[in-house]
Amino acid sequence: MTKSAKPVSRPTVSAADQAARFRLLADNVPVLIAVFDAHDLTCLFANRQYAAAFGLDEGSIVGLTVSEVIGEVAAREIQPQVLRVLQERVSVSYERRLQQPGGEVRWVEVNLIPHVGPDGIDVQSAFVLISDITRFHEAEQAVRESEERMAKFMEASLEGIVFHRDGVITDANPALCELLGYSLETLIGRQALDLVAPDQVDVVRAIMEAGGETRYETAVVNSDGERLAVEFIVRTLWRHGERLRMAVVRDIRAQHAAMIRIHHLAHHDPLTGLLNRTTFMERLRERLTPGGDRAALLFIDLDNFKRVNDSLGHLEGDQVLRTVAERLRGGLRASDLVARFGGDEFVVLLEDVHQRKDVQVVLNALLSVVEVPVRADGRDLSVTPSIGVALYPDHGDTPEELLQHADTAMYLAKTAGRATYRFFEPAMAENAYADLVLEGELAQALTADEFVLFYQPQVDAQTGQLVGAEALLRWRHPVRGLLAPDAFILVAERHRLMVPLGEWVMQEAARQSRVWHESGVAPVPIAVNLSSMQFRLASFSKSVSQVLKSAGVPGEWLELELTERMLTEEIDRLPELLRTLRAQGLAISIDDFGTGYTALNQLTRLPLDKLKIDQSFVAGLPEDGGSAAITRAMVQMAKGLGLRVGAEGVRNARQWHLLAEWGCDELQGEVIATAMPADEFEAWLARRGRPARPGMES
């Protein structure tokens, strides 16, 4: 017989224990718990947290109505939910905003649960469970605000922004849509790599797969198929628990264009777009390799370009330079180099030149295209080039040597009459060196007081009385002796020494005129020859005024002599300039008349006082019938215009008599006296006394 198992006794749990356990549990859960009677809404139970929330304890709250616990206002607010629980016997959940006494705002979630009696119909009580959801509410609010800020940022950003998940676009801002030319609906769902330029896809894919945060330049393609240079700034972020990739798409086309522009400006002339001096010399050095192909270097200078700037202004001058640059480019091969060295100087390298005649073909073409009139300020301007040529390797094997020799040849082209070209010859280098030495000596001569004025008398053709004197420049060279202007004037003009030299001549002539007037030795005007360089200065009339003021003489004591070439070069500004000079009292005469290209109608427009017939016409008188006819016609024309007439180079009495008979007013030449220093001029006057008109010579 087996022994039966002894039953296990279980401890009995009393109602009081159960209540204590419930109370312990209720007081320690993070929820506010209360039970209200369904009939009178009085509190039957509340845990410690619930009672404390309303300033009560677990004992004192029991028996109080809902209104007494939470207040009349709050009770009215929740009444609809309470009625629903009691009448419909359903659980109700809602959120409430609570303002704490200290001003702190808390958010709670309230759950009302009906307790139905055994009959399953009547609601005996209602459980109230209140959870503090402030932290969750604030988190949700922060997320909403973050979303709103992101949305506003994306809307306001001028740069494109795109989000993608695993390479599929999930969102984009208006700036990106505008940049690419797609609507947002068209972009969402597309592969991001579809928008990348084909040659950049592999690079972008590798960066996407690496998953790093970076920035780099690449290219995208818009809806028109146009390639756009962009910069991607890539970041990773989490949104609603999902990992997203964000890329800021920055349009850098303007930046690239600016860099290209900066690079272009560093190597090109900003006005004409041609290579600048530095870049041309660098490329010239690269191309002139020992044993390489023959080449020709052309140095081009525009003739009288300063006249364009002075008369029309720099804006019109710039237009002329741009036009010339375009014509030079158009007349050359693509492989030839052409640059603007500054001002009106251009340089060209012709490569693969086999013989001199190949260069001559290009030179003739350039002369013809550049000589075509340029339209500026509503008029046609004739601009001509003077071109010097140096051949590689015949005339030098370095860029500097070739440039120097081409420059030397260009100056020779100018002295040959302009609008032409010259090839460098070894003798030019010797002349250039001599010019360099002479230039230095001229500059020194100005400070060493080596220049002197000689004076040639001008007499009345009828009476032989002294009516004036022409001041002629001489240089007492310390080694070469007394030099006439022919020995140094061209060098002085090429190196702009004529401006200070011409001013010295005016000052010295004005000083001498004052001495002769105040002493009564020769109270006659002194004529001064002007250089074209001096005359073209914008400040010339002010300079003359300053000379007169400094010497303390009236303008009537000086006469200014211009050449016909100066009249043709300065015709636009001449009338006003001459009127300004004559207003100061100076007389204006045209020297060497008949040797230039003065249009006769110009004489009617200009305020002049005298024409001086060139000695080349006087020399043939009276035997040369052609010279006689021309000279007589010039005298009659001048008299008809109301001008005085002078004649230079009168060598004998027969010429004097004939010129006087035709109506010539003034004469100068060997028959009267040669040019002489001031003291000899005074002695000549003293010896001469009161001269009579010489008789006819047989």
pLDDT (tens digit, 9 = 90+) per residue, 306-319?
A: 766 665 666 777 88
CA distances from 153 to 150, 239, 573 (A): 5, 16, 64
Residue 649 lies in a domain: yes
The DSSP result for 340-408, as a single string, is: EEETTEEEEEEES--SHHHHHHHHHHHHHHHTSPEEETTEEE---EEEEEEEETTT-SSHHHHHHHHHH
Task: Quickly list DSSP for 71-110.
Answer: -HHHHHHHHHHHHHHHHH---EEEEEEEE-TTS-EEEEEE
Sequence-ordered list of residues with C-beta below 8 angstroms from that of 57, at least 6 positions apart, any chain: 48, 51
* Nearest-angstrom CA–CA distance, 651 and 626: 18
**Reduced to 3 states, what is the DSSP secondary structure of residue 573?**
coil
Total domains present in the chain: 4
Query: Are 363 and 400 in the same domain?
Result: yes
Assess whether 495 and 515 both reside in one domain: yes
Task: Let me know if residue 697 belongs to a domain.
Answer: no
| In-domain check, residue 39 | yes
Helices vs strands, H then E, count in the chain: 26, 26
Q: Could you tell me the residue range of the domain that residue 295 belongs to? A: 268-424
Tokens for 515, please give them.
Answer: 């001495």
Quote the CA–CA distance of 141 and 148 in Å, as a whole number. 10
Residues with Cβ within 8 Å of 338's Cβ and at least 6 positions away in sequence, in order, are: 274, 275, 325, 328, 329, 332, 346, 347, 348, 349
Q: Tell whether 54 and 168 lie within a shared domain.
A: no
Question: Is the domain of 302 the same as that of 404?
Answer: yes
Q: Is residue 502 part of a domain?
A: yes
Residue type, 295: A
DSSP state of 671: T
Averages of pLDDT over each 10 residues, the chain, 698 residues: 56 68 76 91 91 88 91 90 90 82 80 87 88 80 66 70 90 90 92 94 92 91 93 82 84 88 88 93 89 90 75 74 91 91 92 89 90 72 87 91 91 80 81 75 89 96 96 93 89 82 94 95 95 83 93 96 75 82 94 67 83 90 90 91 94 95 96 96 88 50
47 alpha carbon, distance to own chain's centre: 83
Report pLDDT for 145.
Answer: 63
Residues 110 and 126 both lie in one domain: yes
Tracing tokens 């006082």 back to the chain, one arrives at 609
pLDDT digits (tens, 9 = 90+) for 513-563: 999 999 999 999 999 998 888 887 888 899 999 999 999 999 999 999 998
Looking up residue 647, the CATH number of its domain turns out to be: 3.20.20.450
Domain final residue pick, 197, 222, 256: 256
Question: What is the pLDDT, as a whole number, of residue 149?
Answer: 66
**Amino acid type, 97:** R
**Same structural domain, 358 and 418:** yes
623 & 506 share domain: yes
Q: Does residue 594 lie within any of the structural domains?
A: yes
613, 555: one domain? yes
Count CB-CB contacts under 10 A for residue 36.
23
Residue 38 covered by a domain: yes
Report the CATH number that the domain containing residue 84 is assigned in CATH: 3.30.450.20
pLDDT of residue 1: 46
